[in-house]
Amino acid sequence: MQYPNKDIYDDGMDWQEFTTLLSGIMPETPLGQIVQIRSETDTNMIKKFNSSQKKIYNDWQQKILESMTDVEKKQRSKEMQEQLRKAFSKFR
């Protein structure tokens, strides 16, 4: 356990202390590994994920998508179209 002297079930822990502890979580911990998988942006790394990692990653991406408003989805789509346009414009 990363914080052996901390009672993680302490109902009196305030939000600031919780976020401070959470932000310092090491990637070697189970939670740290999940956070690392969910936040990965390198497509080459994502391609190398095993089936369990892919499930964690895909489930999180789906949850993000479901929480987006229609306006946010349209904006994300426009950003993606612009990235694709830039990436493939040199082939014209």
Q: Does 63 fall in a domain? A: yes
The more confident residue out of 12 and 77 is: 77
Measured between alpha carbons, how far is 88 from 84 in angstroms, rounded to an integer?
A: 6
Q: Is the pTM of this model over 0.75?
A: no
Measured between alpha carbons, how far is 10 from 7 in angstroms, rounded to an integer?
A: 5
Q: How many CB atoms lie within 10 A of CB 37?
A: 19
Chain center to CA of 21: 18
Q: Is 28 exposed, middle or buried (0-12, 13-18, 19+ CB in 10 A)?
A: exposed
pLDDT of residue 19: 80
Q: Does 53 fall in a domain? A: yes
Q: Does 45 fall in a domain? A: yes
- Per residue in 42-91, pLDDT (tens digit) is 999 999 999 999 999 999 999 988 898 999 989 989 988 988 888 887 76
Residue 72's domain spans which residues? 40-91
pLDDT of residue 1: 55
Q: Does 17 fall in a domain? A: no
How many domains does the structure of the chain reveal? Answer: 1
